[in-house]
Amino acid sequence: MTPNENSPVGPDQELSSECSAQAASAAPLEPVQTTTSRRDFLKGGGMLSLSSLVGAGALMAQTDDAQAAIEWAEHFQGNYRLMTPQEKAEARARLERRYSAEYGKKVTVDGTEAKDGVLMGYALNIRKCIGCRRCVKACVAENNQSRGPNPGERIEWIQVLRMERGEFSKEKMDHGYPEGLGIQVGGNAYTPAGQVLEGQYHYEPKAVPEKDATYMPIACMQCEKPPCVKVCPVRTTYREADGPVVIDYNWCIGCRMCMGACPYWARRINLTSPILPKEEMNPVTHYLGNRPRMRGVVEKCHWCLQRTRQGRYPACVEVCPVGARKFGNLLDPESEVSLILARKNVFRLKADLNTFPKFFYFYD
């Protein structure tokens, strides 16, 4: 079935053999025509790969068609982590050209590397959070997520879980939850304290905080031993030297292994083509950060790499109206996060999984 064996291509054209393998993905459709003989089929396959080669050659030769040339080169670039500095710069310049044309404004794709002596850390005051979701929306405003109206088109990296406080009352002593199964969860029957059901983060009261609820925002924990990195078959997601776990979106194959491996529900996939209005697009981007993603790749929180590498707080830290979110350098004993670790009661979510998050929850 591999078209290379069948195609009448000389060795001089081997340069683009990889391309023909890609383009001939339509070949499996051919055997459906049961009447065709093997010869016809081979001929068909050969013609197909030949035509794809011609197309590829045309694409490569057509330097005036900038858009096509950019996408062509982008398609065959390597894993960002393995690129030389020059290749990285070229890849970023390609993307800048493409995004600027696509969004009608000057888009910059930054490639600032990790600084020595920096290990980013995050702390969140779980007692202060009022569940207003401003962090969720600020993240979307900063990080160019898809924001369409249809299912799967709206991507948000931060989830704010609502947990019932629960109460103990004599009248409810005999009640069980869920009804009929006799399993009691959380604090009490019918008031499952601390239990998170899928629907519970869709709360929509007039005002928060509600009297009977506490809130727990979760996003990527930027683990020191990230399960998502362990499972990635193409090694496109990896831990940067200053802490955050990042994704090279161009190298991602969309297999979603990482989504299954992540115990914190932090990763999202672009099942549809992302909907990102031109006027809302944030033109200051980072290659491993908030640059616009394509369909079929996984994305997640990266602690606003385009901001934090330039010294600025992440967007969610800045927007939090109650100041529950803190960010800083774990190696600096004077940083906010280090002081919190030294003074406050701190825990990590699902610490028993030995993922060693750099995201700490604390309370006064």
Partner 1 sequence: MKKIAFHTLILAFCCGMISSAASAEDVTCFESRKGASEVTQRELKPGWPNVKCSPKTGAVLWWGDPFDGTVPMGEMPLLDKTAAAKAVVKPRSEKLNILPMCGTACHNGVGPKFMPPTLPKDKNPKPIPTMEGLLPDAKNLQHGRGRIWCLDCHHTTQRNKLVDNFGNPVSFDQPQLLCGKCHGDKLRDWRDGIHGKRIGEWASTGKKRWFVCTECHNPHNVQDGARNRGFIQIEPETPPQLPHGMKDAKYELLHGVSQH
Structure tokens at 287: 């290659």
Angle at 335 between CA 218 and CA 317, to 5 degrees: 35
Contact 297, 247 (CB under 8 A): yes
CB of 289 to partner 1, least distance (A): 15
Measured from the CB atom, the residue of 76 and 347 that comes closer to partner 1 is: 347
* Cis status of the peptide bond prior to 209, with omega within 30 of 0: yes
CB of 178 to partner 1, least distance (A): 3
Measured from the CB atom, the residue of 72 and 313 that comes closer to partner 1 is: 313
Is 134 a residue that touches partner 1 (CB under 8 A)? yes
Phi first, then psi: give them for residue 30, nearest 5 degrees: -60, -45
Angle at 105 between CA 99 and CA 109, to 5 degrees: 45
Radius of gyration of the chain (CA): 25
Residue type at position 275: I
Measured from the CB atom, the residue of 6 and 329 that comes closer to partner 1 is: 329
Measured from the CB atom, the residue of 31 and 104 that comes closer to partner 1 is: 104
CB of 183 to partner 1, least distance (A): 7
Is 75 a residue that touches partner 1 (CB under 8 A)? no
DSSP state of 363: E
Is 172 a residue that touches partner 1 (CB under 8 A)? no
Is 216 a residue that touches partner 1 (CB under 8 A)? no
Is 7 a residue that touches partner 1 (CB under 8 A)? no
Structure tokens at 157: 């990296």
Scan residues 297-336 and list those touching partner 1 (CB under 8 A).
Answer: 308, 311-315, 317-323, 326-329, 332, 334-336
For 114-153, b/e burial (b = at least 16 CB within 10 A) is: eeeebbbbbbbbbebbbbbbbbbebbbebbbbbbeeeeeb
**Which among 23-31, 177-185, 221-229, 244-252 is the span making contact with partner 1, rule CB under 8 A?**
177-185
Q: Out of 13, 36, 200, 272, name the contact with partner 1 by CB under 8 A.
A: 200
Q: 340: closest CA among 355, 353, 329, 354? A: 329
CB of 102 to partner 1, least distance (A): 15
Residues 6+ apart with CB under 8 A from 262: 220, 227, 228
Q: Out of 77, 102, 108, 128, name the contact with partner 1 by CB under 8 A.
A: 128
Is 116 a residue that touches partner 1 (CB under 8 A)? no
Is 181 a residue that touches partner 1 (CB under 8 A)? yes
Measured from the CB atom, the residue of 133 and 267 that comes closer to partner 1 is: 133
Is 207 a residue that touches partner 1 (CB under 8 A)? yes
User: Number of residues in contact with partner 1, rule: CB under 8 A?
Assistant: 64
DSSP state of 268: E
d(CA 239, CA 300): 13
| Bridge partners of residue 299, in order along the sequence | 268
Scan residues 279-298 and list those touching partner 1 (CB under 8 A).
Answer: 283
Q: Footprint of partner 1 on this chain (CB under 8 A)? A: 105, 127-128, 130-134, 136-138, 141-142, 151-152, 154, 156, 159, 178-181, 183, 197-209, 211, 283, 308, 311-315, 317-323, 326-329, 332, 334-336, 339-340, 343-344, 364
